[in-house]
A and B are shown apart, each in its own frame.
Chain A
Amino acid sequence: MGLAALLLWRGMLERTRPLLWALMLAFPFPFIANSAGWMVAELGRQPWLVFGLLRTADGTSHLVHPGQTIFTALGFAGLYLVLGLLYLFLVAREVAHGPAAQE
């Protein structure tokens, strides 16, 4: 990124094809870093819900039936699957269109 910034500043970035390839292939990394960061925070904390104070097993709602949580988890998974596919479709369409000639 530092190298790319330097080249952009010197006005040479658009002619440095290997770096442009690397930048294009790097696009999933922010998403991966974001998700991985959440997973480190949430999974690394187990078995604590509040570290050192409250265990996850003690923090659950007694009156919520397990079937309800399965229902809502599946609901979220289904909703996000549909939205994720639509998102990919829209992004792919945007990429296929290419950049606007002149804004």
Chain B
Amino acid sequence: MEMFWFWTVAVVMALYAMLDGFDFGAGILHLFVAKTDAERRQVLAAIGPWWDGNEVWLLAGGGTLFLAFPKVLAAGFSGFYLAMFLVIWCLILRGISIEFRSHLGDGLWRAFWDGMFALASAAMPVLLGAALGNVVRGVPLDGSGFFNIPLFTHWDVTNPVGILDWYTVLMGVFVLAALSCHGALYLAWKTDGPVRDRSRAAALRLWVATVALALAATVATARVNPDIYARLPHAPLAWLGLALYAGGLLAAIAGLRTGRDLLAFAGSSAFILGILAATAACLFPVMLRSTLDPAWSLTAYNASAGPYALKAGMRWWLAAFPLALGYFAWLGWVHRGKVEAGDYGH
């Protein structure tokens, strides 16, 4: 039962990264791939039906933690207090930028909100990457099950650790590159005309950066948390994740080279889901690793809610999850095809 919930959290978070990832990427890139107001609106129309629904997966992840692993939620939200607020403020500014820009035709007004949209979109992947880095590296959990972590200390992964060190910053930059590439592939798939051409050119360069940073992150992770690789031989799901990771990267470049945009975007989606699934499989059952003493780590077994809550929650989840997936499938069907230049409706 604890395993079911561990994987529910992992799957929801991975889906969140994959789904909101493409609209973060589109937000970062729209300043570069869309030059005119009409092209900017084309980009916004491409992500318009999706971005707010995508964000709900983050809420679902938080809600699942609250239901199944309240101790992880309590420790994480207290420990990362200020970082959590940065995430919330970035999400607010992103949404507001999309909604406000179209209300005035004034050039300065639009340029301001476009810049704000790009800035908030770029900050989010860095924050998410740093968060992933903190989960992999571990946090100074003590015997009380809580931790307090400064923004940065001596920029190294040894105690006393900070939210930012060379490893978590590397992860932030890696996620920034990976989601920018993901967004570029999404725009290449969903738009036409100059926006598609520029997105494809950007995706090619970002793909190279993503592969280089993915290798660097993989090597760095071995130094920061050797337990992950020690578990690899015993975690069959991690091998599936790694296959998706490598296969996804290859499919992305193959699709990009041959102009099969959907294949490229699907490849990049598989890469994101795969790398997160492999990480989760190798971390299991640890959810928040303690840098002070492994015995103080919060795991799926010592941090879960009681058996009744897990059982009752599972019934609701099994009913709700297909509904949510069905809604996304329907949304994709309604908005199939490309958003053409000059077609702003959604």
Contact = CB atoms under 8 A, between A and B. Distances in A.
A20 B100 CA distance: 30
A37 B180 CA distance: 42
A63 B147 contact: yes
B37 to A, nearest CB: 18
A24 B82 CA distance: 42
A81 B206 CA distance: 38
B306 to A, nearest CB: 14
B96 A63 contact: no
Given A62-B146, A90-B104, 16 more contacts: A61-B81, A62-B78, A63-B78, A63-B79, A63-B146, A63-B148, A64-B81, A68-B81, A68-B82, A71-B82, A72-B81, A72-B82, A72-B85, A75-B89, A86-B100, A93-B103
A62 B146 CA distance: 9
Contacts of B79: 63
B216 interface: no
* Size category of the binding interface on chain A: 10 to 19
Q: Which 5 residue pairs of A and B lie closest in terms of their CB atoms, listed nearest first? A: A61-B78, A63-B148, A72-B85, A64-B81, A90-B103
Contacts, number: 33
A2 B257 CA distance: 64
A79 B94 CA distance: 13
Contacts of B148: 63
Q: What's the interface size class on B, roughly?
A: 10 to 19
A83 interface: yes
A90 B113 CA distance: 14
Contacts of B320: none
A32 B81 CA distance: 31
A72 B85 CA distance: 7
Contacts of B103: 90, 93-94
A75 B81 CA distance: 13
Nearest to A69: B81
A50 to B, nearest CB: 12
Interface of A: 61-64, 68, 71-72, 75, 79, 83, 86, 90, 93-94
Contacts of B85: 72, 75
A72 B104 CA distance: 30
Most buried by B among A64, A68, A83, A86: A64
A68 B79 CA distance: 12
Contacts of A72: 81-82, 85
Contact of A79 (B77, B78, B89): B89
Nearest to A90: B103
A73 to B, nearest CB: 10
11 contacts: A61-B74, A61-B78, A61-B146, A63-B146, A64-B78, A64-B81, A72-B85, A75-B89, A79-B89, A90-B100, A93-B103
A62 B145 CA distance: 12
B314 to A, nearest CB: 23
Contacts of A79: 89, 92
Contacts of A94: 103
Nearest to B82: A68
A75 B90 CA distance: 12
Nearest to A91: B103
Nearest to A94: B103
A94 B102 CA distance: 13
A62 B104 CA distance: 46
A69 to B, nearest CB: 8
Interface centre among B74, B77, B148 (most CB of A within 10 A): B148
Contacts of A75: 85, 89
B21 to A, nearest CB: 25
B108 to A, nearest CB: 14
A34 B78 CA distance: 29
